[in-house]
């Protein structure tokens, strides 16, 4: 059976092909079989005596969903339609709101809105809790069900009710769906040899687009790099590794995973042909930086390759395997946790920045202005400005030949 290793939240995509079976041998097979007899007994009673006739497939699907819901927020069952929808995200183009969600403390929570999408323009924030979708309460709603309800034909509207820290009551957001096309890399020349590179997501094309941008900056005399991973909710594990290795010496560990099944215990090391290892780097993160973003930030922090600036990251450090099933449905199962090179588990904790810089509350309350000049926005960004100060310090130390003052881990 072909499987796929994935990390991230709403945008579940195929990544690595793993060999072997995902099923572990039960320590007590007889006890499990006995409980299965109980399940079939209940199933038979429901089929024969329930007030309404329920198709067997519907009963089985409901039972599977209930089983997975009891494991963790990230394991779920994908019916054939949901499984097909999941696969379209590999291309980075789909119809919807442009919002990344997860279950946090069993509450549907925004990881991050994707920049320049309807959700972003509407003013959704990382950490917002979604309590209703088109009037339907989201309590006990699975991630795939929530995704399906927010997806739809471009031009149609959906109303989501949001609870935000500091608000006394929920607020409704009426958002018009669009065809979402995510361009994962955005760049700016900030002058004085400083390159700004923002990664919005980790897709198949991200490492290539990053390398193209770095080559262009290098030819223009790049002396320092500001890597912005804020509101980047993750994506492909392989893309995270390939991005990290562009800044780390050959052979150094980027990330490793550990699970119950042997083939889930993997190590990913840097093997880039032309890594950028000589210039100072500052990485920006915030609460919306999750999963693959945390892998990159954690690796660069552990190897003291970059200084991390911003606020605590999301803390999504588990690995999901997508397993196709015989009827065209799929199983999204948490099979491992990932760790930074120095053995730190990020799950539930996140990455702590070397320099903590909060966005002023009055800035967070301001509405986003469509069409605003990106460079002007960066000049007003307090986290960006602090990152530039840290880059200046790192550059000065490098010019003196002194060790870069990056916090040790």
Contact 368, 114 (CB under 8 A): no
C-alpha to C-alpha distances, 390 to 39, 225, 226, 369, nearest whole angstrom: 60, 11, 10, 28
Catalytically active residues are 291, 302, 316
Can you tell me which residue has the tokens 């890399």?
185
Element (H, E) at 377: helix 374-380
Q: Is 8 left (phi over 0), alpha (psi -120 to 50) or beta?
A: left
Mention every residue, 6+ apart, whose C-beta is less than 8 A from residue 169: none
Q: Are 154 and 116 a contacting pair, CB within 8 Å?
A: no
Q: How big, in percent rounded to 5, are the helix, strand and coil portions of the chain?
A: 30, 25, 45
CB 329 within 8 A of CB 76: no
Instruction: Mention every residue, 6+ apart, whose C-beta is less than 8 A from residue 401.
Output: none
Residue 72 and residue 76: Cα distance in Å, rounded? 9
Residue listed under structure tokens 């948490």: 334
Helix/strand number for the chain, H first, E second: 11, 21
């Amino acid at each position: 059976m072909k499987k796929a290793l994935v990390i991230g939240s709403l945008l579940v995509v195929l990544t690595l092909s793993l060999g072997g079976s995902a099923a572990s041998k039960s320590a007590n097979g007889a006890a499990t079989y006995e409980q299965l007899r109980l399940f079939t007994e209940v199933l038979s009673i429901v089929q024969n005596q329930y007030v309404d006739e329920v198709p067997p497939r519907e009963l089985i699907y409901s039972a599977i969903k209930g089983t997975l819901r009891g494991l963790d927020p990230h394991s779920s069952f994908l019916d054939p339609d949901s499984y097909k929808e999941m696969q379209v995200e590999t291309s980075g183009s789909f119809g919807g709101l442009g919002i990344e969600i997860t279950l946090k403390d069993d509450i549907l929570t925004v990881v991050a809105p994707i920049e320049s999408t309807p959700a972003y323009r509407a003013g959704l924030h990382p950490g917002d809790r979604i309590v209703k979708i088109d009037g339907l309460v989201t309590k006990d709603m699975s991630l795939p069900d929530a995704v399906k309800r927010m997806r739809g034909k471009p031009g149609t509207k959906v109303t989501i009710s949001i609870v935000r820290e500091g608000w006394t009551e929920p607020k409704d957001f009426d958002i018009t769906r669009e065809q979402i096309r995510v361009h994962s890399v955005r760049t700016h020349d900030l002058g004085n040899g400083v390159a700004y590179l923002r990664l919005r997501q980790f897709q198949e094309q991200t490492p290539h687009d990053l390398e193209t941008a770095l080559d262009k900056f290098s030819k223009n005399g790049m002396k320092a790099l500001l890597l912005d991973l804020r509101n980047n909710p993750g994506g492909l594990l392989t893309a995270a590794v390939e991005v990290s290795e562009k800044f780390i010496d050959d052979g150094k560990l980027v990330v490793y995973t550990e699970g119950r099944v042997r083939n889930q215990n993997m190590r990913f090391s840097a093997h880039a042909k032309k890594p950028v290892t000589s210039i100072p780097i500052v990485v920006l993160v915030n609460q919306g930086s999750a999963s693959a973003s945390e892998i990159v930030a954690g690796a660069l922090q552990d190897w003291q390759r970059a200084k991390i600036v911003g606020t605590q990251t999301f803390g999504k450090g588990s690995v999901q395997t997508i397993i196709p099933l015989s009827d065209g449905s799929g199983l999204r199962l948490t099979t491992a946790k990932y760790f930074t090179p120095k053995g730190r588990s990020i799950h539930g904790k996140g990455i702590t920045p070397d320099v903590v810089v909060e966005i002023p509350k009055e800035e967070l309350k301001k509405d986003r202005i469509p069409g605003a000049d990106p460079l002007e926005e960066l000049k007003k960004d307090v986290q960006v400005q602090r990152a530039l100060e840290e880059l200046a310090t790192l550059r000065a130390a490098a010019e003196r030949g002194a060790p870069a003052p990056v916090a040790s881990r």
